[in-house]
Structure 1
């Protein structure tokens, strides 16, 4: 059954500064299974995670030996706007290592002088130790968060709102092959635990047996620069442009054709094609080139007979000559 979901919580995260969406263990396990080869002898940093409650920390702690990790580091942010009755939270970093096989884990807890924000020098000092960052970062600060990871040349696997791929900064990284979509998105991310003061939206919002309040927004994805086999699989093309030109109208303000669905990309057209942003989930950089996002030659949204289809990405089939 299709989900009937209210998206306002995540769409308004930046406006409301509500970033407390905690990832379910099942969703972490489902995605991480595709990257296990990347973690051997690596230092993993979960820099938006309280180890007392984070499923990211629990996943890596439980699988420390099987993944062959060198060290696990996590850091917790202290909220400055606690609700009445809440105990004072303490920001801290935790380093976790396994000394020898079969021996107990060794952990070191350091209380931050500041609030544990990922942009603080204390957190950056931990980031400098890390090889791979894995977490669910604050959606309201997503641009700044990714910019930091790129500037520090870190590998990463993080959760984002689907709208993040429409940000010009993020699309540029995708276009430059510096980041790409992970395996799961939308329905493939089953939900998030939210605090008691968050409203439960959607027909699949629920409270589980442990009392966790869970929403299923159906509009998130994984973003990464860890390679996986799926991103090198060709999109199977079965449609043809020539002989069916009316099904692929040309843009008013760009020399290219419109394609409404990824499955309708024609196999015989070598020119520019505008496709939906969901194309990026199946994008194989060996098969297609990303030309630009959304705008025509006049720097306005792509138009067909004066009307603009929803966000289009202009692509070209690398294996065909230009039309």
Structure 2
């Protein structure tokens, strides 16, 4: 447990750094993207945190360009990226690439062969150049800096873009992100937690935890088990009802009421009672199975006194207040 907490904390710190040296595995990208193919036909995809020379997002979309029916693929990266994933010195220029289709028989194309071009600025997603490219795009897919996640999503919403991005599970506790979910403007993707198998890290990174490993290509992988995909592309999951099997009446002792809100506490999503008409406080992981046609999101974390929800003076980890719309 201590090792896992240390790993998660270290990942967060590293993701907050300028270099952002954690790379998404191609297998995790393929596992998630297979559920969204219908959304990409004749669309411009923008990966604005990705060096095309090493990004697995670029590899996925370039290889599947024709299969998805893409119109264009654009990738940009911050200036400290290089062909070596984890080079320690900054390069002089940020780069971008525009790919318009197959050039080598449907193999993963070489970015240098396509033609990498320098950007004038540093390639930051907030830069004028990056925003101009964002305006040209339809869907943004990438692994953005975790430390800038709020600002990153805010920009996507401002420019009314579709997106599929990776974030820390705790991102759904941010009031800005929860507001989007509550208003049905964003939701969780298909894979979460252990459904995202890990990130490629630098060679000098200490591998913590039993699930850390070195793959067949020599890449060092850490599995944090605390990440998710956030999207506004429709998925099958958000239209599936959660199957409810437990009952509240006759088992009231298992569902204590909060001190500061007229609601019962439910420790696990699978324990949501089928017969309770009132408000319930459920774990934040409920959002992974949330169907807006089945449940209403009432409030996040706070009671009527605007303090954290509590039971007998103790606060369970963040709760989301919900109500069954079908009773």
- Greater displacement, 4-13 / 282-291: 4-13
How far 1:108 sits from its partner (Å)? 5.1
Matched, 1:68 2:75: no
Query: What secondary structure is seen at the aligned counterpart in 1 of 2:315?
Result: coil
| Structure 1 residue ranges, 4+ long, deviating more than 4 angstroms after superposition | 13-18, 99-108
- Greater displacement, 259-268 / 16-25: 16-25
Q: 1:84 to 1:311 in 2, by over 3 A?
A: closer
Partner of residue 278, structure 1: 285
> Residues 52 and 96 of structure 2 are in contact (CA less than 8 Å); yes or no, is this contact kept in structure 1?
no
> Residues 288 and 317 of structure 1 are in contact (CA less than 8 Å); yes or no, is this contact kept in structure 2?
yes
Q: 1:275 to 1:295 in 2, by over 3 A?
A: same
Q: 1:245 to 1:79 in 2, by over 3 A?
A: same
TM-score (norm 1): 0.92
Matched, 1:41 2:42: yes
Deviations 1:16-57 (A, max 9, x none): 556221000000000000000000000000000001100000
Matched, 1:116 2:123: yes
Q: 1:243 to 1:236 in 2, by over 3 A?
A: same
Partner of residue 190, structure 1: 197
Query: What secondary structure is seen at the aligned counterpart in 1 of 2:178?
Result: helix
> Residues 13 and 140 of structure 1 are in contact (CA less than 8 Å); yes or no, is this contact kept in structure 2?
no
Between the two proteins, the alignment pairs up a number of residues equal to 318
> Residues 28 and 197 of structure 2 are in contact (CA less than 8 Å); yes or no, is this contact kept in structure 1?
yes
Q: How many Å separate the matches in 2 of 1:227 and 1:3?
A: 37
Deviations 1:128-149 (A, max 9, x none): 0000000000111111000000
Q: 1:127 to 1:17 in 2, by over 3 A?
A: same
Deviations 1:209-259 (A, max 9, x none): 322121111111110000011111000011111121111111110011111
Q: How many Å separate the matches in 2 of 1:102 and 1:168?
A: 47
Partner of residue 168, structure 1: 175
1:57-96 residue pairs with structure 2 within 5 A?
57-79=58-80, 86=89, 88=91, 90-96=93-99
Provide structure 1 residue ranges, at least 5 long, that are not aligned to the other structure.
none
> Residues 19 and 80 of structure 2 are in contact (CA less than 8 Å); yes or no, is this contact kept in structure 1?
no
Deviations 1:106-158 (A, max 9, x none): 94533111110000000001000000000000111111000000101000000
> Residues 17 and 140 of structure 1 are in contact (CA less than 8 Å); yes or no, is this contact kept in structure 2?
no
1:252-267 residue pairs with structure 2 within 5 A?
252-267=259-274
Query: What secondary structure is seen at the aligned counterpart in 2 of 1:239?
Result: coil
Deviations 1:64-108 (A, max 9, x none): 00000000000011129xx99747353111110027997998945
| Superposition CA RMSD, Å | 2.5
